[in-house]
Amino acid sequence: MAAKVQTQFIAATKEISFVAGLYTLWRLARVLPLDQSLGAIERGKSLESFQREIFLPSELSLQKFVLEHEWLAQASNTYYAIAHVPVLLIFLVWLFAFHRNAYPKWRNGLALLTAMCLSIRFIRVAPPRFFPELGYIDLSTRYGMSVYGPVGKGVSDQFAAMPSIHVGWAAVVSFGIVATCTSKWRWLALFHVVATIFVVSATGNHWWLDGVVAIALLGIALFIDERFIRPRRE
């Protein structure tokens, strides 16, 4: 019994260290002293034009709807600011504790997804809130809930809109629960990714395609795990 507990403790410690290391690398990468604006505005405009060409709905309409309901605007800001990391950590703990066999797949998917997002972020893309001439506003700044601060001085990179790591991490949680859990209530987990897509767009922090690309990258990450990594751990 003592040996089993010790083994479990060592395994949990290794995973905590691994995830903490990944999170630290992500935070460090997001504050690298890169050129904060080169090409970002132009790419943001191009992305907005492309979305109109393929008939995606305007994020502006969603933002106007949220502004008509102050409680929803504040809730969207709050969800954007604080939900993504705690929910992800709770998901990883739940998966490790109760679905250990599925844990490596989704942990690896998360790691690969984050690595790809951090690589793509070097191609600067401005989010909707940087285009007031199109009618967008920075919803979080309006309500004094910004997590960024001044450009180049805030806690996160403001020109790394593409892809949306918020949406990517939410997809890991939602899809991971649906794929792993057997309860009939598991489909409610999709609320998290849907709500995240809603709030990142409504707050002016991401374009629709930022989330689409993030989910596509998760699919690629899971394929890599299934095709190349899983055979080695079995």
Domain boundaries, the chain: 57-233
pTM, 2 dp:
0.86
Report, in this order, helix, strand and coil percent for the chain, each rounded to 5: 70, 0, 25
Over residues 143-197, the pLDDT tens digits come to 665 555 544 444 456 777 789 999 999 999 999 999 999 999 999 999 999 999 9
Q: What is the pLDDT of residues 17-75, one digit of tens each?
A: 776 776 676 666 555 555 456 788 899 999 999 999 998 888 899 999 998 998 998 89
Angle at 204 between CA 203 and CA 206, to 5 degrees: 110
Predicted pLDDT of residue 51: 94
Greater confidence (81 vs 189) lies with 189
Statement: residue 130 has pLDDT above 80: yes
- Looking at residue 35, what is its pLDDT? 45
Whole-angstrom distance, CA of residue 82 vs CA of residue 96: 23
- Residue 10 scores a pLDDT above 90: no
Handedness of CA 142, 50, 194, 154 (dihedral sign): negative
Find the mean pLDDT for residues 129-137: 90
Which pLDDT belongs to residue 186? Answer: 94
According to the model, what pLDDT value does residue 142 have?
75
**Dihedral through CA 224, CA 176, CA 158, CA 208, nearest 10?**
90
Nearest Cα to Cα of residue 43 among 175, 210, 166: 210
